[in-house]
Amino acid sequence: MDVTQLAEQVIAGNRRALARAITLVESARDDHREQAIALMEEVGKSGRQALRLGLSGTPGVGKSTFIESFGMMLIREGLNVAVLAVDPSSSRSGGSILGDKTRMEMLSRERAAFIRPSPSQSELGGVARRTREAVALCEAAGYDLILIETVGVGQSETVVAEMSDLFLLLLAPAGGDELQGVKRGIMEMADLILVNKADGDLKAAAQRTCADYAGALRLIRKRPQDPMEFPKAMTVSAIEEHGLEAAWAEMNTLIDWRRENGFFDARRAEQAEYWFGQEIRHGLLRQLEREPLKSMIAGLAGKVAGGEITPSHAAADVLKALREGYGPSGP
């Protein structure tokens, strides 16, 4: 594969090249990984910057419907939109986005839209790292806005927040007065909370829920990257397409403020450091799964279980072998 040529095609906005490039970065093969690293360096030269929007919400809250309506609105404004997903369970479900293309029927037919399901890997770390590179590829390909969707199940929100400029939390109207058990950590990540389904019978409940969350947000420690009034909670209706323009205006207000005050670039720099650390950790873990360490660990595990050696001692032996260059049989 000619990586330089592929990079040129991606930067030229060739959709098939973009799809091929994403397939390359998703590959787990070692030779592909080397090509992917070279590719990412090449496309980085485009110097383009998109707005990266993370979007999280529990199943059924209306993420797909929101992406369809919101994406179509942006396209009407003349923007190009890419949609990616981080879904560690996609190996089971066959991909959250493709599974419900029916809910993004209009968007998926638009030339100004590019939709890509989550890579099918069972481990969140793998999915996350590949999606981060897919984001950078879409950025180089000239998309103005990249939406990164995730189902709100534990760790995946953090991963998406670490590759987004803005993190949106989509919520449904609560039945009673409970705050839907949204974890504090997730609330703290949100830049904008959107209470969806503010229409018909659900409208009043959505407004109450929104007020509850606005109150909860005020109790959260003030973050330096936020101007007055942020983070905010608002109501929207993805189906009736209400509140989407207002939400988009708020996103732009926040992003403009962060750009002017240096927080936008600072956040991207922090994220680059974060992913650097993640790549190292992942690489180290992979070494443990390879020979000769793999066999060494398996052997020691038996001895630990049998009480012949303590867990700490066995681990120290493995780490020593790692430090000394993969143990007696060498790399």
Ligand X SMILES: Nc1nc2c(ncn2[C@@H]2O[C@H](COP(=O)(O)OP(=O)(O)OP(=O)(O)O)[C@@H](O)[C@H]2O)c(=O)[nH]1
Residue numbers at the binding site for ligand X (CB under 6 A): 57, 59-65, 96, 100, 103, 151, 196-197, 199-200, 202, 237-239
CB of 64 to ligand X, least distance (A): 3
Positions in the binding site for Mg ion (CB under 5 A): 63-64, 100
182, 173, 179, 176: which is closest to 235 by C-alpha? 173
Rounded-to-integer distance, Cα 235 and Cα 244, Å? 9
When the beta carbons of 83 and 296 are compared against ligand X, the nearer one is: 83
Rounded distance between C-alpha atoms, residue 4 and residue 27, angstroms = 18
CB 236 within 8 A of CB 199: no
Q: How far apart are CA 57 and CA 259, in angstroms?
A: 26
Residue 110 binds which one of Mg ion, ligand X, none, with CB within 5 to 8 A depending on kind? none
Residue closer to ligand X, measured from CB, 89 or 121: 89
Nearer to Mg ion (CB atom), residue 136 or residue 195: 195
231 binds, among Mg ion, ligand X, none (CB under 5 to 8 A by kind): none
Contact partner at residue 302 from ligand X, Mg ion, none, CB < 5 to 8 Å by partner kind: none
Angle at 170 between CA 134 and CA 191, to 5 degrees: 75
CA distance 311 to 326: 20
Q: Taking CB within 5 to 8 Å according to partner kind, which of Mg ion, ligand X, none is near residue 197?
A: ligand X
Shortest distance, position 108 Cβ to Mg ion, whole Å: 13
Nearer of residues 48 and 203 to ligand X, judged by Cβ: 203
Report the distance separating Cα 315 and Cα 296, nearest Å.
Answer: 11
Residue 58 corresponds to which amino acid?
T
Give the Cα separation of 211 and 234 in Å (integer).
8
**Closest residue to ligand X using C-beta atoms:** 62
Cβ-based nearer residue to ligand X, 9 or 56? 56
Chain position carrying tokens 């407004």: 207
> Among ligand X, Mg ion, none, what does residue 232 contact (CB within 5–8 Å per kind)?
none
Nearer to ligand X, 39 or 238 (CB): 238
* Among Mg ion, ligand X, none, residue 61 binds (CB under 5-8 Å by kind): ligand X
User: What order of strands is seen across the sheet that includes strand 166-171?
Assistant: 113-115, 81-86, 145-151, 51-57, 166-171, 192-195, 232-235
CB of 167 to Mg ion, least distance (A): 18
CB 71 to ligand X: min, Å: 12
Minimum CB distance to ligand X, residue 195 (Å): 10
